[in-house]
Amino acid sequence: MENILQVEHLNAEPGARSEGYLSVSEMVDGTQARIPVVLLNGTNPGSTLYLQSVSDGDELNGLAVIRRILHRLDPNRLNGQIIAVLIVNIHAFLDGQSLNPVDGKKMNRCFPGRRDGTSSERIAHHLYQHAIKQADYCIDLHQGGVRPLIDEVRVRADRRKRVHKSCMDLARVFGIGYVLDASGPDGQLARVAPEQGIPTIDPELGGCHGWDESSIRKGVLGVENVLKNYGFIQGEPQIPEKQVVVDGFLSIISNRGGFIEYHADLYDHLQKGDPVVDITDAFGNVLETLHAPQESILWSRTLKPMIASGESVATVGKNIRYI
C-alpha cells in the first residue's frame, strides 16, 4: 500500500505536493477561519517533519522561511514527509498582533489544546491531533516579536527526560549558533511535543517589524541543515563547530528614565561589570550607567531609544556553556 500523507481532507501520495486550507474556527459572521497547510510526500520512505510559523500573529520571519523551503523542495527527491503549517494563529495574524484577539491568549501557551476550549486552545488541539502527532521531529518557528533579539534556538524539554538529548541534538543541527536550554512556561509546543517523544525546537529568528532578511536566511539554512542531517534530502549540513548555550536570562533594569546609549551590541560576550548602557537626559547628560551583572551574552534590547524607570533595558543570557 502506498504511504499516503494525510491531514484531514488534504492528502499527498508519494512524490506529490498538496496544498490547501484547514478550517479551524468561525469568524463573527459565521464564515470559516482557515489556515494554510502544505504537505510534501517524498518518493522514498523516511521520517516526518512538522514545521509551523506565526504562532504569534506578528512574528513573520518563520513564514518567509517556510515559503522559501517549500519552494526549494522537490518531493521526487525527498525522503520522508513534511507537514508545513504556514499561519497557525490566523486571528492574530489578520489583526496584526501577537495574541489571538478572540480570547486574548498566546497560542504558544495553549498546546496540546482542548477540543471544547477557547479559540486558541481549539486551534492548538486541531493541529496537535491531526498533524503534530504524526511527526518524528517538530520545528516551531518564532521570533522575539518586534523587540531586537539575537537569532537563537530554544529547547524546552525537561532535562531529566531522555528526549532532552534529542532536542539538544536537533538544536545543534539547526546550527544557528546560540541555544537557550530552559523549560519555560506550560503549553509551549516545544515543551509539550517532547512529552510525546517528539524532539522539538523553537527557533527565535531575531525580532523586527515585518521580515528581516538576515534572520530569514539563517532560518532557511537551519531548516535545510535539519533536512540534510536527518536524511530528508541530500547534502552536508553546515553546523558550527562550537555553539553557545545559556540556561536562562537576566534583565538589566533602569533606575532612571531617559534616553538609551548602548556600550554593547547584541551577541557581545560580557564580563561581570562591563558597561552595557548609559541612561541619559534629554540633553545627553549621563544619569546612570548599567553594567553586566555577571558573565553573559547580550541577548535582546529595547526597541525604542527611551526608557522609563523600572523598565528592562536589555536581557542577557546567563550560565554560558558550549556544545
* pLDDT given for residue 323 in this prediction: 95
Q: Residue 184: which pLDDT band, with cuts at 50, 70 and 90?
A: confident
Q: Residue 211: which pLDDT band, with cuts at 50, 70 and 90?
A: very high
* pLDDT given for residue 315 in this prediction: 98
Instruction: State mean pLDDT over 160-170.
Output: 96
Residue 1 pLDDT exceeds 90: no
Listed in sequence order, the residues at least 6 apart from 263 whose beta carbon sits closer than 8 Å to its beta carbon are 274, 275, 276, 277, 278, 289
Listed in sequence order, the residues at least 6 apart from 44 whose beta carbon sits closer than 8 Å to its beta carbon are 78, 79, 80
pLDDT digits (tens, 9 = 90+) for 288-309: 999 999 999 999 999 999 999 9
Residues 229, 231: Cα–Cα separation, whole Å: 6
Residue 2 pLDDT exceeds 80: no
Q: Residue 152: which pLDDT band, with cuts at 50, 70 and 90?
A: very high
Q: Residue 203: which pLDDT band, with cuts at 50, 70 and 90?
A: very high
Instruction: Report all structural domains of the chain as residue ranges with CATH numbers, in order of start.
Output: 5-229 (3.40.630.10), 249-322 (2.40.50.100)
Residue 322 pLDDT exceeds 90: yes
Instruction: State mean pLDDT over 56-73.
Output: 97
pLDDT digits (tens, 9 = 90+) for 129-140: 999 999 999 999
Residues 132, 267: Cα–Cα separation, whole Å: 33
Residue 70 pLDDT exceeds 60: yes
Q: Residue 14: which pLDDT band, with cuts at 50, 70 and 90?
A: very high
Residue 312 pLDDT exceeds 80: yes
pTM given for the model:
0.96
Distance of alpha carbon 229 from the chain centroid: 20
For 262, the 3-state DSSP assignment is strand
Burial of 304 (0-12, 13-18, 19+ CB in 10 A): exposed
* pLDDT given for residue 73 in this prediction: 97
pLDDT digits (tens, 9 = 90+) for 250-261: 999 999 999 999
Mean pLDDT computed over every residue of the chain: 96
Interior angle at CA 294, CA 169 and CA 296, nearest 5: 35
Cα of first residue to Cα of last residue in the chain, in angstroms, is 42
Q: Is the peptide bond before 36 cis (omega within 30 degrees of 0)?
A: no
Instruction: State mean pLDDT over 155-172.
Output: 96
Residue 223 pLDDT exceeds 80: yes
pLDDT digits (tens, 9 = 90+) for 84-127: 999 999 999 999 999 999 999 999 999 999 999 999 999 999 99
Distance of alpha carbon 184 from the chain centroid: 13
Closest CA to 128 of 101, 110, 146: 110
